[in-house]
Amino acid sequence: MKDRKKAEIEYYDKRVKNSGRDFERFKPQDLVGFKFLYDLLKKYVLGKQVLDYGCGNGIHTLAIAKMGAKKVVGIDLSERSLEIVKEKVKRGRLEDKIEFLKMDCEKMDFPNNYFDIIFDGGTFSSIDLNIAYPELARVLKPAGLLIGVETFGHNPITNLKRKLNKLTGKRTSWAAEHIFKTRDLEEAKKHFSKIEVFYFHLISWLAFPFLRFKGANLLLKILEGLDKILLKASFLRKYAFKVVFTFSQPK
């Protein structure tokens, strides 16, 4: 196994928490970008075979199953993450709807045209997309849909924070240097004929560190309202903190 993969596994084995919260100690579903994402998932996963690509501690897996997916298969290389999420499934009595497999996202064991929906909840920065994109297109059905959310890597302020996180061990070197960017969207066009992108959290990310405190949701709502206005300007969109996207019509 390559050193970069070992580093990612070690990082997530140490960082994973047995909770429904993200690493910033708040529920990502509280954010407008993730609300939009979940509305997309609810629209498409009903009765479908879904892959949770890099499922981690299952922060999204159980929610997708409860949306009415026929079957959700989660894959990850972090054994600690998989142990935690399997316990969540047992407690939720969802064993008949969810399966977890230790599997490399860059080299999947699934047959061609296997999944109706692929969900990416932020895995792309931890992998080599030049290797992963062909695999994703391979296992997605011709009429299938990939739905994803990623941190976007063009904002100079959040990029500075990311460099500090790398120095303090809060981010791996690979992930810090491979945050999703416009070039990755362009690369995706080589493997999917249709790409749609939606931009969120241009300035509202400033509220994220305070969301664990009482009253911070009001600040978040105000900043998200300003985001909605500012992101109408196309030249500002590349500086959004999060992007939600769909890839379809695999080549």
Q: Is 27 exposed, middle or buried (0-12, 13-18, 19+ CB in 10 A)?
A: middle
Global confidence as pTM: 0.92
| Termini Cα distance of the chain | 29
> In whole angstroms, what is the distance from residue 104 CA to residue 128 CA?
11
Q: Residue 20: is its pLDDT beyond 60?
A: no
Quick one: 134 exposed, middle or buried, by C-beta within 10 A (0-12, 13-18, 19+)?
Answer: middle
Query: What's the rounded mean pLDDT across residues 25-53?
Result: 92
How many angstroms separate the CA atoms of 159 and 175, rounded? 12
Domains of the chain: 3-250 (3.40.50.150)
pLDDT at 18 over 70: no
Q: Does the pLDDT at position 235 exceed 90?
A: yes
